[in-house]
């Protein structure tokens, strides 16, 4: 094992550590191959909180203790070229060590225990290619930002079937797998939603805003803690299993093929496929053949040639082929190499493969352990969503108009009239008839009351005259 100490006194104590990488130049001093017997292995960087040791005073017996789990690991094959820097992400360790103004890391094999194997790195005594600790930090305000993706309930109810909070949000040069929480320095950053789901809009909270809420690629403005939420739906879905970060290049002899299988969640139409390429230099040497296969690796359409013109994602439009995709029935997208060892298709972390990749060597199909960067976009035939709005209002009964009686010149007391509710099954005519009869009876009563009042007044006057 190797103990390495770095001085952190040049870093402000109030700094926020954005990233930190420890880099050591691997060398066997002969510029040849180096080997770890028994196959590949990993060398881990382990955090040590004790900085009291010295270069001349440390021994095997007095060596400081260190964490049992590696902060980061570097993988090696059985044979690896020398004179190249190996790198470990030690951001977390630098953050913890900043108050003590020094960082100690311990390098050791992760899995070997007494087995033969060796790895040599250049120390500070070397004439060149010294050990490096590259630190990016800031003293500006840093805020906690929650990155998420959610379904749009108004667009589709089937997004949740796929599982919410999927995909990636890229902010500047960093790809964030959502959901995640990151510390972001105050400022403006380009952001983009990269997901299988169809982008609908952005939503933000707190001190996070975007310049265009309806654009998949926009600028995010961070002035405080908050959330950046990408809203999508499953009307158009891109299927993929890679993490968006190319790690490995793969080339095959002419006639060989790589294939990626997809298992559709819905029936629909295959709109397009795309491949991620490196080493695209001369178009005449970069042409490949596109294959769309069923789950038995049989061509669904006649294979055709395509030519990428630059490195990165290369899109192939399949709209005119009217390819139907059936829910739960797998299909494959393949690439046939036409020129040996020129065009490179990229893959991601093979250690986390989901075993959906296949290799045709000219004789038979075999399973590979690579996450090939091949994607497929399907326009889904989603079932209609039943309306769940408010129940329709009951039909109103037709109004019955009643001609008003001529106004009386005599002052009448205010009367409040009500119309009785019709019984169940009563029609509009019966209701109107009932209302008319009630009004006639009311008028008769009023006339009778007025007559009684008049007679009473006349009788009063006659009685008063007789008494005089």
CATH number, residue 149:
2.60.40
Contact (CB, 8 A) for 269 and 326: no
Percent residues over pLDDT 70 in the chain: 69
Residues 363, 301 share a domain: yes
Residue 421, pLDDT score? 45
Residue 29, pLDDT score? 40
- Does the structure show a pLDDT above 90 at 150? no
Find the mean pLDDT for residues 299-307: 95
| Total structural domains within the chain | 3
Q: Is the pTM of this model over 0.85?
A: no
Residues 225, 337 share a domain: no
Residue with the larger pLDDT of the pair 394 and 1: 1
- Could you say which of 204, 234, 264 is where a domain stops? 234
Residues 285, 226 share a domain: no
Residue 359's CB: how many other CB atoms inside 10 A?
A: 18
Pair of tokens at residue 52: 């009291």
Residues 250, 226 share a domain: no
- Does the structure show a pLDDT above 90 at 418? no
- Does the structure show a pLDDT above 90 at 355? no
Residue 309, pLDDT score? 86
What are the phi and psi torsion angles at 298 (to 5°)?
A: -105, 140
The whole domain housing 311 covers 238-380
- Does the structure show a pLDDT above 60 at 163? no
Find the mean pLDDT for residues 129-155: 83
Find the mean pLDDT for residues 194-217: 90
Find the mean pLDDT for residues 385-406: 46
- Could you say which of 186, 219, 234 is where a domain stops? 234
Find the mean pLDDT for residues 431-455: 48
Residue with the larger pLDDT of the pair 7 and 163: 7
Highest mean pLDDT among 24-28, 302-306, 462-466: 302-306
Q: Please indicate, yes or no, if residue 122 is contained in any of the structural domains.
A: yes
Percent residues over pLDDT 90 in the chain: 40
Pair of tokens at residue 355: 């075993």
Q: Please indicate, yes or no, if residue 61 is contained in any of the structural domains.
A: yes
- Could you say which of 138, 155, 174 is where a domain stops? 138
The sign one gets for the Cα dihedral 324, 325, 330, 331 is positive
Residues 100, 187 share a domain: no
Residues 244, 214 share a domain: no
Residues 279, 180 share a domain: no
Q: Please indicate, yes or no, if residue 391 is contained in any of the structural domains.
A: no
Confidence tier at 376 by pLDDT (50, 70, 90): very high
- Does the structure show a pLDDT above 70 at 400? no
Residues 200, 87 share a domain: no
The sign one gets for the Cα dihedral 362, 367, 370, 371 is positive
Choice among 32-36, 95-99, 281-285 with the minimum mean pLDDT: 32-36
Residues 108, 171 share a domain: no
> Please, what's the b/e burial string for 183-194 (b: 16 or more CB within 10 A of its CB; e: otherwise)?
ebeeeebebbbb
Confidence tier at 140 by pLDDT (50, 70, 90): confident
């Amino acid at each position: 094992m190797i103990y390495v100490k770095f001085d952190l006194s040049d870093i402000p104590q109030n700094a926020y550590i954005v990233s930190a990488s420890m880099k050591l130049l691997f060398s066997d001093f002969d510029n040849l191959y180096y080997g770890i017997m028994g196959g590949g292995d990993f060398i881990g960087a382990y955090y040590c909180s004790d900085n009291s040791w010295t270069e001349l005073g440390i021994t095997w017996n007095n060596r400081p203790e260190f964490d049992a789990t590696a902060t980061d690991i570097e993988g090696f094959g059985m044979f690896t070229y020398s004179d190249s820097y190996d790198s470990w992400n030690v951001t977390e360790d630098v953050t913890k060590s900043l108050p003590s103004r020094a960082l100690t890391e311990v390098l050791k094999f992760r899995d070997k225990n007494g087995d033969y194997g060796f790895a040599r790195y250049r120390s500070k005594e070397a004439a060149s290619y010294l050990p490096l600790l590259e630190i990016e930090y800031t003293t500006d305000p840093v805020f906690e930002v929650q990155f998420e993706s959610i379904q749009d309930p108004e667009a589709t109810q089937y997004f949740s079937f796929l599982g919410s909070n999927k995909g990636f949000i890229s902010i500047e040069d960093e790809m964030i797998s959502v959901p995640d929480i990151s510390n972001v320095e105050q400022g403006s950053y380009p952001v983009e939603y990269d997901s299988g789901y169809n982008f609908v809009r952005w939503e933000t909270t707190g001190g996070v805003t975007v310049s265009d809420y309806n654009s998949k690629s926009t600028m995010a403005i961070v002035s405080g803690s908050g959330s950046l939420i990408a809203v999508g739906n499953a009307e158009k879905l891109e299927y993929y299993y890679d993490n968006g970060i190319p790690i490995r290049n793969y080339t095959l002899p002419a006639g060989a093929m790589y294939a990626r299988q997809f298992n559709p969640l819905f029936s629909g139409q295959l709109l397009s496929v795309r491949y991620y390429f490196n080493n695209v230099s001369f178009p005449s040497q970069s042409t490949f053949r596109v294959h769309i296969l069923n789950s038995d690796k049989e061509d669904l359409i006649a294979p055709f040639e395509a030519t990428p013109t630059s490195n990165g994602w290369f899109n192939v439009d399949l709209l005119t082929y009217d390819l139907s995709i059936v829910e739960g029935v797998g299909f494959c997208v393949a690439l046939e190499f036409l020129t040996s060892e020129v065009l490179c298709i990229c893959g991601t972390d093979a250690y986390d493969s989901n075993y959906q990749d296949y290799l045709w060597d000219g004789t038979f199909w075999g399973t590979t352990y690579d996450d090939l960067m091949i994607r497929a976009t399907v326009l889904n035939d989603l079932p209609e969503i039943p309306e769940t709005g408010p129940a329709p209002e009951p039909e109103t009964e037709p109004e019955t108009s009643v001609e008003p009686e001529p106004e009386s010149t005599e002052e009448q007391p205010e009367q409040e009239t009500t119309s009785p509710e019709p019984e169940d099954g009563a029609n509009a005519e019966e209701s109107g008839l009932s209302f008319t009869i009630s009004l006639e009876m009311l008028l008769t009563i009023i006339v009778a009351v007025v007559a009684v009042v008049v007679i009473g007044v006349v009788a009063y006057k006659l009685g008063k005259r007789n008494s005089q």
